[in-house]
Amino acid sequence: MATFHIPNAGETPGCHPLTITRSLGEFPLANVSLRRHQQAALIAAGLTEVTGPSPDFSVHPAAWFAPAELATFIADGSYGKMTTPDGAILLSRLNGTRDLRVTQSFAICFSWDLLRANVEAMSSRKTYVQESGGHASLYVDGRLQVGKGTKILPGVVIEGDVIIGDNCKVGPNCYIRGSTSIGDKCHVGQAVEIKNSILLPGTNVGHLSYLGDSILGEKVNFGAGTITSNLRHDGGSHRSPIDGQMVDTGRRKLGAIVGDGVHTGIHTSIYPGRKLWPKTTTLPGAVIDKDILA
């Protein structure tokens, strides 16, 4: 039986607001850690995880695997490296010699790559469990997974692929859509719209707020009327500042990247692709056109 080892993943460029207090391998995608996704994919492909030296396969700690490409690589013993177009080696075999170039698998190099991985993780689920707790007026057009102890109040509309964790409170009159995962013990208030986003546990999005194509860390509090912008007027791809340089994200839609413990004042407006470091704050009515560093 072939074996693999996944090293611990630390920070990756562009992910600092989200990984400064956790390793990337612990980051939840569809409310399951990246490392568990990697383990499940490799085990499904016929490998066994080991902790000792000299495994047959070495795994990039920030890899996201497309099942078909992974199966192709594992099945052909002549392949030595699974490589992305930008040169990242996602998986290497001890005795292989050929290079398999992949286009669907990728390395999570920037924080917005987590949104892409979350969509993949959500859509690839074969089974899901829905607990009770939704009001009779709940409207669902898509797949909704609801955790234990969660209350969904009247007037909530779900469209797309949505996961809501345990002991959450959602509503009333919320609109949640796209591929959105909400962690345990979150509160989504009156008339909030959330689209294609990730909320980590313990986070509160105050009433009359909009969150689109964004990531909120743990125990974030969005004050009432906090709005993320996620679309350029010219429809082009967003750029985001990394180490003093504006990096093209390749995304037409991108909102905010928010670290753990951030609090925004009411009516805060956040430019696309801006990042707020852990425990930073904004004043009421603030317009965030630059990253807010710790």
Residues annotated as catalytic are 207
**Alpha-carbon dihedral sign for residues 103, 105, 109, 113:** positive
Return the residue matching tokens 């090293």.
Answer: 7
Closest CA to 205 of 170, 163, 257, 160: 170
Closest CA to 195 of 182, 217, 179, 209: 179
Report the DSSP pairing between strands 57-59 and 89-93: antiparallel
Q: How many residues does the chain have?
A: 294
**Complete DSSP assignment for 75-99:** H-TTEEEEE-TT--EEEEESS--EE
> What's the CA gap between 78 and 64, in Å, rounded?
22
Return the residue matching tokens 């030296």.
Answer: 53
